[in-house]
Structures are given as C-alpha cells and as structure tokens.
Amino acid sequence: MTTAEKKIARLEVVEPKRLEFGKKWDYAPAPESTEHIKIQSRYELFIGGKFVSPKSGNYFKSINPATEEILTEVAEANEADVNLAVKAARTAYEKYWSKLPGSERAKYIFRIARQLQEKAREFAIIETMDGGKPIKESRDVDIPLAVAHFFYYAGWADKLDYAFPGRKTRPLGVAGQVIPWNFPLLMAAWKIAPALACGNTVVLKPAETTPLTALHLAQIIQEADLPPGVVNIVTGFGKTGAAIVNHPDVDKVAFTGSTEVGKIIQRAVAGTKKKLTLELGGKAANIVFDDAPIDQAIEGIINGIYFNQGHVCCAGSRLLVQESILDLVVRKLKDRIQTLRVGDPLDKNTDIGAINSSDQLKKIKELVQIGIDEGCKIHQSTCKLPERGFWFPPTFFTGVAQSNRIAQEEIFGPVLSILTFRTPEEAVEKANNTAYGLSAGVWTDKGSKIFKISSQLKAGVIWANTFNKFDPSSPFGGYKESGFGREGGLQGLMPYVQLI
Ligand code: NAI
Ligand code: MG
C-alpha cells in the first residue's frame, strides 16, 4: 500500500465513527490503569484504632455502578457496634485528644493530609470505581480538595484563640457524623478535619454505596498513629446512621444528605444536649443576564449541572435566562451537551460518569417523566450509553413553569430546567421561589449587578461568572430547607466548639 493509499484507508476507518457520534472528531480511549489498586475482598469496621468484625457478622456489597460488578463486601454495623465506636471515641476524648495542645493535634492532622496527598492517585481511582464519578473529577476535584481541607484545618488547631478573639474555646466531645455518596472522601474530610482540629473525637458513617475511600482513610489514620478511638469509621445503612444520631453519648451530630432524612434527624436530636448541623438538598438558580459573556456562561451552566452527573446538592439545576437571549442559549446548550462524553468513568476523557445507584437512576427517570407529562419540552443528548451500569444522558427542559415539579424538586441527576425572566427583580423573585437555599449563580458583565443581585438571593453560596468552585477557606451551607450551620473556613470551626 502506498502512503497515499494508507491515508485513505485510515480516513475510511475514522469516518463512520465520526458519523456515529455526530461529532467532528472523537478522543481515543484513555483509561486510567487500575493495576496497582488494591481493593480488599472484605472491609471491617474501624473502631478504637483497629479493624474489627461486626457483631452481627453481616456484610453488604459495594458495587461499581459503571459495570455493576461487585467490588467488595463491607461490614454492617448494628447498635452494639455503634456503642463500641462511641465508647472508643469517648475514651479517646477523655484520655488523649482533649488533653493534647492544639499544636500536637495539628501534627496528626497534617500527617493525615500528607499521607492522603501521597496516595491521591489510588484514592481517586477507588472513588471513581466505587461511586461512578469521572476520574478527572475525583483526581482534580474530590481528592485534592479533601487533602486541602485537612491541611487547612490542621492550620487552625493551634490558633483557635485567634479564630475567636477574646474568647476561649472548649471542644464538644464526641461528634457523630453521617455523610452521603456524592463526594464520599471530600465529605469525610469536611466532617473529620474541623472536628479533630477543635479537639473532638469522631464516629463517622459513610454512605452504603460508597464506603471504600472512607475505609482507606481509616487505614491512613491508623498509619498516622492517631491515638486509638480518635476517629472511628462504621459502615452500614440508614439504621447504622440512626444508631449514631440517637446515641445518648454523642455530643454533636453533623449530617449531609437528603432533606427527608435531615428532618428525621432534627426531630431525633430535639430536646437533647446534641448540637446539630445539617447540609441538605438544593435547587440552585443559575441566573444568566443578557449582558453576560455567553460562551463562558454556557460552560458555567454545563459545569453547574452536569458536573458529577448532577449528584451535587449545590448544582445549578434551575437555569434562569433573560428572555432576549433564550434562543441563543438553548441553541448553544443543545450543541454543547451533544459533545459531552458519557461513559467509562475511568477514562480520562469522560465528562459524565455513571449514576451512583439504580435507586438514584430510578428517581431521575421518574422526575424526567413527570417533566414530560407536565408538558415541558425535553432536549437530550443522543450519545450512546453503555449497556451495563447506570446511565443517564445530559438532558434539559425548556418551557418550564415555576409550578412544575422539575422546577421545584431536587432531581440530583444531569437534568436542567430552563426558565426565563425579563427584569432583575423577576430573576430574584424566581430564584428565591424555592424551599431550598444552598447556592446560586449570577452571570453578567456588570459588577454592580452582581453585588445587588447576590445580596438579594437567599442562598448560602453565590458564584459570580463561575459555578461549583470550592475552597477550604470559604464557608459552605444553606438557608431554609437546605439546612443550617457552615462547613469550611473559620465559620466551619463554630459547630465544633463551645465558646467560653
Ligand atoms: P440519604 O439522606 O438517605 O443518605 C445520606 C446518608 O444518611 C447515608 O449515609 C445514609 O445511610 C444515611 N441515613 C439514611 N437514613 C438515615 C437515618 N434515618 N438516620 C441517620 N442516617 C441515615 O440520601 P439518599 O437516599 O442516598 O438520596 C436521596 C436523595 O437525597 C437524593 O436523590 C438527593 O436528592 C438527596 N441527597 C442530597 C445530598 C446532599 O449532598 N445534600 C447527598 C445525597 C443525597
Ligand atoms: Mg459502590
């Protein structure tokens, strides 16, 4: 074959693929290697510095939602196990942790941060396998941010007097922490790092579909030689979470998850000594004015809702577009979602990974069907979805009214609802017309408009000309049914101290 013939032959091979995906070109697969990743065949509970079997002898499976393959089995903690964990945390609190000066606590937390940083690649791969999120997110967002939180709060441990000038602080005691599956390691870091920095000990329960990175963190904590019982990690379902929340010797409860469970927890701790912080759902408005840099805004909208398959409590799930630019925005969004790469989460080019569980996929499908039944117009990428695993294509709805359920309820999937407004006042009114108030976004060329609008929005975090940006030094938390209390920043210390 001559060189010219070879070129033609190559073109012929490439061409059908181009047509199939409806794109000009495509990336070759670039899968992250899992060769050096050690996932044990079984994981025990981490109590009192040791890995111990559950009293019931029960184990549950954690699967890879992208393949439905069983990754491992994990211990299910019952009330007796939770009792042991709380007891270990209490002993550690009284014997060691509350007696250590802040500068000593800091050394341990720094050690966790450094170890985690060293093993960042391993953690990113495990996070992606256990939860379905794209490797580029676990590698570039989840794990580095988790590390940054440990570093950040290690820095506060010996400076609490400066955090609260003129006041002394006292730790609360044992913190019971229950976390969800959308940012498994990051949520563990958000909970554990400030608790330890302030002198508390911890019993943490990861979500049942994504327990693995928390258990690998337990290994790091063991290697970092923390006094036994300072951090205990117990795995299980809602019942295990409830046993922690209801335990009489827990002084503080921190929960991130659904508003429904948040309400149950708030009722359960009412009238007890327990302090509570809740970080619940959201239905964030992403407001785009006609003077916004449109292409930048399109990327922000995409990042706001399709990031992490929309499994984000602060996702920009309601797009409010100024009426005069609606057609332009819709056209650009249609083109853009078609180019998003959905598939193998371990592939470095993947934009949208697997839905975390079959239950979550069912919930997304139900709400999308409701959107269709209520007369909203659906736009969906025609990308091919893998045959096994749980998948949902990037989707958005136009013709959405405020009363439609897809404009009110958290879908927690890659589904955007588009509404319009004419004036800034109308944008604010519509943005605030929700039971939630976790986050919001404003896109405009005018700085003064950003300040005016953001001061009127009832949301804990407001991004301007960007979306879904996080930093350990900035507080995060909600209004209304999105919960209360702040995590991150100086404010994130408050829920873990008593001021005297
Ligand atoms: P969930 O609220 O049931 O689960 C979160 C955590 O709470 C898990 O560790 C779970 O085991 C635990 N839990 C469940 N019931 C409990 C109880 N009675 N007492 C103590 N702990 C309990 O959330 P789920 O069912 O996984 O997701 C349902 C919906 O919640 C999602 O579709 C989404 O809309 C929302 N969600 C919001 C999150 C957020 O970051 N705000 C995170 C996860 C889900
Ligand atoms: Mg899993």
Residues 444-477 have pLDDT tens digits of 999 999 999 999 999 999 999 999 999 999 999 9
Closest ligand to Cα 60: 2
- 497 C-alpha to ligand 1 centroid (Å): 26
Residue ranges of E strands in 138-243: 169-171, 174-178, 201-205, 231-233
Q: Please list, residue by residue across 113-138, b when 16 or more beta carbons sit within 10 angstroms of its beta carbon and e when fewer do.
A: bbbbbebbbbbbbbbbbbbbbbbbbb
- 209 C-alpha to ligand 2 centroid (Å): 4
Q: Which of 178, 181, 208, 261 to mutate to test the pocket of ligand 1 (most atoms within 8 A of CB)?
A: 261
What does the CA dihedral 204, 207, 208, 211 come to, rounded to 10 degrees? -70
Question: pLDDT tens digit string along 30-73?
Answer: 999 999 899 999 999 999 999 999 999 999 999 999 999 999 99
DSSP conformation class of 142: I
Closest ligand to Cα 236: 1
Which protein residue has the closest C-alpha to ligand 1 atom 15? Answer: 238
Residue ranges of E strands in 76-199: 169-171, 174-178
Compute the distance between CA of residue 11 and CA of residue 19 in angstroms, rounded to an integer: 12
pLDDT band at 409 (very low <50, low <70, confident <90, very high): very high
| Three-state secondary-structure class, residue 213 | helix
pLDDT band at 6 (very low <50, low <70, confident <90, very high): low
Residues in Cβ contact with 173 at an 8 Å cutoff, skipping those fewer than 6 apart: 90, 93, 98, 200, 201, 251, 252
What pLDDT sits at residue 109? Answer: 98
- 129 C-alpha to ligand 2 centroid (Å): 7
For ligand 1, residues with CB inside 6 Å are 178-182, 205, 207-208, 237-238, 241-242, 245, 256-258, 261, 264-265, 279-281, 313, 360, 363, 410, 412
Kindly list the distances between the CA atom of residue 169 and the CA atoms of 10, 48, 154, 164, in Å, as whole numbers in the listed order. 69, 26, 16, 8
Q: Which of 44, 208, 313, 409 is catalytic?
A: 313
Q: Atom of ligand 1 at shortest distance to CA of 412?
A: 34
What pLDDT sits at residue 3? Answer: 59
Which protein residue has the closest C-alpha to ligand 1 atom 24? Answer: 258
- 202 C-alpha to ligand 2 centroid (Å): 23
Q: Where in the chain is the domain with CATH 3.40.309.10?
A: 282-471
Q: Atom of ligand 1 at shortest distance to CA of 411?
A: 34
The span from the first CA to the last CA of the chain, in angstroms, equals 84
Which protein residue has the closest C-alpha to ligand 1 atom 22? Answer: 238
What pLDDT sits at residue 14? Answer: 43
Centre a 10 Å sphere on the Cβ of residue 89 and count the other Cβ atoms it contains.
30
Kindly list the distances between the CA atom of residue 146 and the CA atoms of 163, 213, 424, 471, in Å, as whole numbers in the listed order. 22, 11, 37, 10
Which protein residue has the closest C-alpha to ligand 1 atom 14? Answer: 238
What pLDDT sits at residue 234? Answer: 98
Which protein residue has the closest C-alpha to ligand 1 atom 25? Answer: 258
Q: Which of 78, 258, 438 to mutate to test the pocket of ligand 1 (most atoms within 8 A of CB)?
A: 258
What pLDDT sits at residue 444? Answer: 98
Question: pLDDT tens digit string along 324-352?
Answer: 999 999 999 999 999 999 999 999 999 99
Contact 34, 346 (CB under 8 A): yes
Q: Atom of ligand 1 at shortest distance to CA of 282?
A: 41
Q: Atom of ligand 1 at shortest distance to CA of 205?
A: 9
CATH number for the domain running over 282-471 = 3.40.309.10
Structure tokens at 364: 């997304």
What is the average pLDDT across 403-428? 98
Compute the distance between CA of residue 407 and CA of residue 309 in angstroms, rounded to an integer: 18
Q: Atom of ligand 1 at shortest distance to CA of 244?
A: 20
- 256 C-alpha to ligand 2 centroid (Å): 18
What pLDDT sits at residue 4? Answer: 57
Q: Identify whether 32 is a catalytic site residue.
A: no
Closest ligand to Cα 181: 1
Q: Identify whether 429 is a catalytic site residue.
A: no
What pLDDT sits at residue 9? Answer: 47
What is the average pLDDT across 10-19? 45
Contact 300, 466 (CB under 8 A): yes
Long-range contacts of 122-126 (CB under 8 A, 24+ apart): 122/36, 122/37, 122/216, 123/185, 123/213, 123/216, 124/32, 125/32, 125/34, 125/37, 125/346, 126/37, 126/39, 126/212, 126/213, 126/216
Contact 256, 192 (CB under 8 A): no
Q: For residue 346, which amino acid is it?
A: L
Centre a 10 Å sphere on the Cβ of residue 348 and count the other Cβ atoms it contains.
14
Q: Where in the chain is the domain with CATH 3.40.605.10?
A: 42-280+482-499
Q: Atom of ligand 1 at shortest distance to CA of 245?
A: 20
Choose the CATH number for 42-280+482-499 among 3.40.50.1820, 3.30.750.24, 3.40.605.10, 3.40.47.10: 3.40.605.10
What pLDDT sits at residue 16? Answer: 43
What pLDDT sits at residue 13? Answer: 45
Kindly list the distances between the CA atom of residue 219 and the CA atoms of 118, 227, 376, in Å, as whole numbers in the listed order. 13, 13, 49
Closest CA to 322 of 425, 219, 208: 425
Question: pLDDT tens digit string along 120-139?
Answer: 999 999 999 999 999 999 99
What pLDDT sits at residue 490? Answer: 97
Model-level pTM? 0.94
- 217 C-alpha to ligand 2 centroid (Å): 16
Q: Look at phi and psi of residue 327 and say left if phi exceeds 0, alpha if psi is from -120 to 50, else beta.
A: alpha
Centre a 10 Å sphere on the Cβ of residue 4 and count the other Cβ atoms it contains.
8
Contact 141, 182 (CB under 8 A): no
What pLDDT sits at residue 7? Answer: 52
Q: Which of 127, 279, 481, 487 is catalytic?
A: 279
Question: pLDDT tens digit string along 361-374?
Answer: 999 999 999 999 99
What pLDDT sits at residue 24? Answer: 55
Which protein residue has the closest C-alpha to ligand 1 atom 43? Answer: 257
What pLDDT sits at residue 269? Answer: 97
Q: Report the mean per-residue pLDDT for the chain.
A: 95
Residues in Cβ contact with 144 at an 8 Å cutoff, skipping those fewer than 6 apart: 120
Closest ligand to Cα 69: 2
- 230 C-alpha to ligand 2 centroid (Å): 26
Closest ligand to Cα 482: 1
- 14 C-alpha to ligand 2 centroid (Å): 36
**Does the pLDDT of residue 402 top 70, yes or no?**
yes
Give the residues across from 320 on adjacent strands: 287, 419
Residues in Cβ contact with 460 at an 8 Å cutoff, skipping those fewer than 6 apart: 437, 438, 439, 475, 476, 477, 478, 479, 482, 486
| Three-state secondary-structure class, residue 427 | helix
pLDDT band at 26 (very low <50, low <70, confident <90, very high): confident
What pLDDT sits at residue 480? Answer: 94
- 390 C-alpha to ligand 2 centroid (Å): 12
What is the average pLDDT across 176-181? 98
What is the average pLDDT across 412-432? 98
Q: Atom of ligand 1 at shortest distance to CA of 187?
A: 40
